[in-house]
């Protein structure tokens, strides 16, 4: 073992390959779920992930974050990370050789079978709660954040990189999408939320959208909390919530409702 990679109990101490001041003071515990983010803008992290429950869990070592600067893997006099599109067109494309070296670096130390590598792309498979659960059960994830016109297709094929999309819209880069994906995944890790029941009862947990929520005061601007929710009858409350979840899903997301109905008929 080299002097730059020493292990002290669960605490993994290693020389940092990305000088990211935002991440100073966050523990890197051996065995904790980790997100490696390949990006041209490592200083964007942790961003929103450093706040609220995900930030608290990060500071406690329940998960760890490793932004990796893609520019570190560029070579030559000008250390170019991109070039013009083959066949012509506007914009620039991230080079296959540079991205491949970054992915290979991130791959070191773990097996692909339990460590997905994902490229955030508008043409990828739509990210959903089931995918977040799958990622949370892995040992970690590597996220490739594109920029400009995207990434050379050859590296996506050669390195068997999964493409994932947040939805049918375009962002200036993959960093915001990466943070959203990580947030949705980290909150499913043990002890992050502190209340497993809240995960089980939220939207998409059973294929339905969540029911409406209410709290004090009981009357506000002439609007009252539905009487069943203050009745103290837990069975009727559960029935009301299920009925409202089904109604909202049927009206607002017919795609989810169709899938729910199909699953229920099995």
Q: Which domains are seen in the chain, by residue range?
A: 18-186 (3.40.1280.10), 201-265 (1.10.1270.20)
The torsion of the CA quartet 99, 100, 101, 105, rounded to 10 degrees, works out to: 100
- Please state the φ and ψ torsions of residue 186, each to the nearest 5 degrees: -60, -35
Pair 137, 33: CB distance under 8 Å: no
* Closest by CA position to 113, among listed 131, 130, 137: 137
Most confident of 8-22, 76-90, 194-208: 76-90
Question: pTM of the predicted model, to two decimals?
Answer: 0.85
User: Exposed, middle or buried by CB within 10 Å (0-12, 13-18, 19+), for 265?
Assistant: exposed
Q: What gap in Å lies between CA 35 and CA 189, rounded to an integer?
A: 13
Longest dimension (CA), the chain: 73
* DSSP character string of 203-244: TTTTSSPPPP---S-SEETTEE--GGGGS--HHHHHHHHHHH
- pLDDT reported for residue 203: 54
**Chain segment 139-175, per-residue pLDDT in tens:** 999 999 999 999 999 999 999 999 999 999 999 999 9
Q: Which residues contact 107 (CB under 8 A, 6 or more apart)?
A: 115, 117, 142
- pLDDT reported for residue 27: 79
């Amino acid at each position: 073992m080299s002097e730059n990679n020493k292990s002290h109990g669960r605490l993994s101490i290693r020389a940092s390959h990305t000088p990211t001041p935002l991440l100073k003071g966050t523990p890197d515990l051996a065995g904790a779920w980790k997100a490696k983010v390949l990006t041209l803008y490592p200083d964007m992290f942790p961003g929103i992930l450093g706040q609220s429950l995900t930030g608290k869990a990060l500071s406690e070592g329940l998960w760890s974050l490793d932004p990796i600067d893609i520019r570190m893997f560029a070579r030559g006099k000008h250390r170019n990370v991109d070039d013009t599109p083959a066949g012509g067109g506007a914009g620039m494309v991230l080079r296959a050789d540079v991205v491949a070296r970054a992915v290979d670096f991130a791959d070191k130390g773990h097996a692909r079978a339990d460590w997905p590598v994902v490229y955030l792309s508008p043409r990828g498979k739509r990210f959903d709660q089931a995918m977040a659960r799958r990622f949370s059960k892995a040992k970690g994830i590597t996220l490739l954040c594109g920029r400009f016109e995207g990434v050379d297709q050859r590296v996506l094929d050669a390195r068997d990189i999964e493409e994932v999309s947040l939805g049918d819209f375009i962002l200036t880069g993959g960093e915001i999408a990466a943070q959203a994906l990580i947030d949705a995944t980290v909150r499913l890790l043990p002890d992050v939320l502190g209340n497993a029941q809240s995960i089980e009862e939220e939207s998409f947990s059973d294929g339905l959208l969540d029911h409406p929520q209410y709290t004090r005061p009981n009357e506000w601007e002439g609007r009252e909390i539905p009487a069943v929710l203050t009745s103290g009858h837990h069975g009727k409350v559960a029935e009301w919530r299920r009925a409202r979840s089904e109604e909202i899903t049927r009206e607002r997301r017919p795609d989810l409702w169709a899938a729910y109905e199909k699953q229920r008929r099995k």
